[in-house]
Structure 1
Amino acid sequence: MNMPMGSALPDWLTPVAWIYIAASLLSVALIAADIYLLGRCHRSTTTELVWVTSALYLGPFAIPAYLRLGRTSTHHAALHPTTASSTATSAAVAVLPGGGASAVAHLIAVPFVVAVGWTIAGMSMWPMILAIAVLAIAMLAVYERAASRAGRAPAQRGLTVGAAVLAAVVTVVAFDIGMVGWMLVLHFNNMMPAVTEGTFWFLMQVGVIVGLVTGYPAVKWLMSRNQSVVPA
């Protein structure tokens, strides 16, 4: 991998990274157990996966968000975030699918790019960014399409494939303003660790959170314009 090996990173970041990663995996397990073992299912599997994957980047902070906005009753009466107290809260929930798609795309794309030795301009960072974006768009489009049709009558089609793809593209581009910007800051400041280091994955988790911030206005705009973004 032709990236700087993070020599500018402080030593204390390594234990912090591993603690946060461990807490993230534990949070994933707790949310999954609450949904699938305690019977708190949602109206669609895609929505359940959004909440489970939210812990991949939000770590333990995903737990209070899930308990407040995503937990259903044991009678499978799914909570609809569109009934939340404000439009801002609804948009904040609706941005989570993009975060989950980005997090999962990182787990797939980064090892793949490293394994095949793919580089652009002598750097593996660019193909990683490209592969992550393509995977995230594909996953987010599938989510938008499936979630918009969940619970509808057969005559109600939900989002068209084109609308779902468009929403996914707009969301991922907005996400990448933050995510790619974060990666460039790390790279040009000699703070990008090797992918085998825990600090790399922790910093990518931080990057996804930065992406949530830059993606939020786009998601809120899409919801107000044509509601082509489906909350988790």
Structure 2
Amino acid sequence: MVLQQTWLVVLSWAALSVGFASAVVIVIDQFVLRYRQPVKIMEIVWPATALYFGPAAVLTYRQWGRPQSPRWLERHRTPPKRPRHAVTVIEILHCATHCVLGAIIATLVVFGFGLEMFGKRLWPEFIGDYVAAVAVGLAFRYSAEADMGGRRAWAAMRRFLVGDLLSVSVFEFALLGWLAVMEFLVFHETVQPSSPVFWLFVQIGSVIGFFAAWPPTLWLVRRGAKAELLGTPQ
């Protein structure tokens, strides 16, 4: 099988190892060295970003994430200035994390239960990925809300629909479109999640989704739909 070629398997394991190691570096910095984030969701966003951006995520975290921690501010007083595009990038990373976690959850469920639609495993996976991404996004928004009870849930839903749904949708369509192209047009065979090649494709698709989500996220930021930013300077 094409997907079992040694060079592709080795490349996949190498990419996955780099991503995992990068995530571990950030987790250690946050929880062992105690550079905790003032917005707790960012303690998930940064390691999740490292899973597909690798060392680039570590560098971005060191420049924009770590200086937000109380421990860093105790030593340096004022965080360094960020470029204007930092707000957009961090907002994309929030939405990207919804999609990445959603893809992991949906993949495990679909393949674990052997779900198929029209004789294909890919269709329930696509539906599951999108639904899981939306569910994770709502959970993130819910945890970030200061209100309690029913108002908190409704406020989280409203903020997600207004500020996140478009970015999440564009990211998901780019990621899932990439996976479909790989399976139907390039390799012409089903890629199983038990293979590291599948997760390499998810990594690449996540990078594609990040850049695809940039224009709509920038538009949302400029129109004020993302006025209350998580983990970004006001």
Evaluate the alpha carbon distance shift between residue 68 and residue 200 of structure 1 in structure 2; reply closer, same or farther with a 3 A threshold.
Answer: same
Equivalent residue for 1:189?
Answer: 185
Moved more, 27-36 or 70-79: 70-79
Equivalent residue for 1:230?
Answer: 229
TM-score, length of structure 2 as denominator length: 0.82
| Structure in which a larger fraction of residues adopt helix | 2
Residues 1:105 and 2:117 aligned together: no
Equivalent residue for 1:170?
Answer: 166
Equivalent residue for 1:39?
Answer: 34
> What are the within-5 Å matches in structure 2 for residues 11-30 of structure 1?
11-30=6-25
Aligned counterparts of 1:214 and 1:220: Cα–Cα separation in 2: 11
* Aligned-partner residue type, residue 184 of structure 2: F
Evaluate the alpha carbon distance shift between residue 148 and residue 89 of structure 1 in structure 2; reply closer, same or farther with a 3 A threshold.
Answer: farther
Structure 1, gaps ≥5 residues long: none
> What are the within-5 Å matches in structure 2 for residues 117-132 of structure 1?
117-132=114-129
TM-score, length of structure 1 as denominator length: 0.83
Evaluate the alpha carbon distance shift between residue 8 and residue 16 of structure 1 in structure 2; reply closer, same or farther with a 3 A threshold.
Answer: closer
Select the residue among 111, 114, 127 that pairs with 2:111. Answer: 114
Offset, 1:8: 6.5
Contact 1:137 1:168 in 2 (8 A): no
Aligned counterparts of 2:174 and 2:78: Cα–Cα separation in 1: 28
* Aligned-partner residue type, residue 112 of structure 1: V
Aligned counterparts of 1:138 and 1:129: Cα–Cα separation in 2: 14
Offset, 1:126: 1.2
Equivalent residue for 2:196?
Answer: 198
**TM-superposition CA deviations, 1:134-165 (whole Å, max 9, x none):** 1111212332344464xx9xxxx8x9223223
Aligned counterparts of 2:83 and 2:108: Cα–Cα separation in 1: 41
Contact 2:13 2:196 in 1 (8 A): yes
Offset, 1:120: 1.5
Aligned counterparts of 1:140 and 1:40: Cα–Cα separation in 2: 24
Aligned counterparts of 2:42 and 2:50: Cα–Cα separation in 1: 14
User: How many aligned residue pairs are there?
Assistant: 218
Offset, 1:11: 4.1
Offset, 1:226: 2.3
* Aligned-partner residue type, residue 99 of structure 1: A
Equivalent residue for 2:53?
Answer: 58
Aligned counterparts of 2:230 and 2:78: Cα–Cα separation in 1: 8
Offset, 1:231: 4.3
* Aligned-partner residue type, residue 52 of structure 1: P
Evaluate the alpha carbon distance shift between residue 61 and residue 111 of structure 1 in structure 2; reply closer, same or farther with a 3 A threshold.
Answer: same
Evaluate the alpha carbon distance shift between residue 93 and residue 74 of structure 1 in structure 2; reply closer, same or farther with a 3 A threshold.
Answer: same
Query: Percent identity, aligned pairs only?
Result: 23
Residues 1:69 and 2:59 aligned together: no
Contact 1:50 1:96 in 2 (8 A): yes
Aligned counterparts of 1:53 and 1:99: Cα–Cα separation in 2: 9
Offset, 1:203: 0.8
Offset, 1:60: 2.4
Tell me the secondary structure at the aligned position of residue 213 of structure 2. helix
- Name the Cα RMSD after superposition: 2.8
Structure 2, gaps ≥5 residues long: none
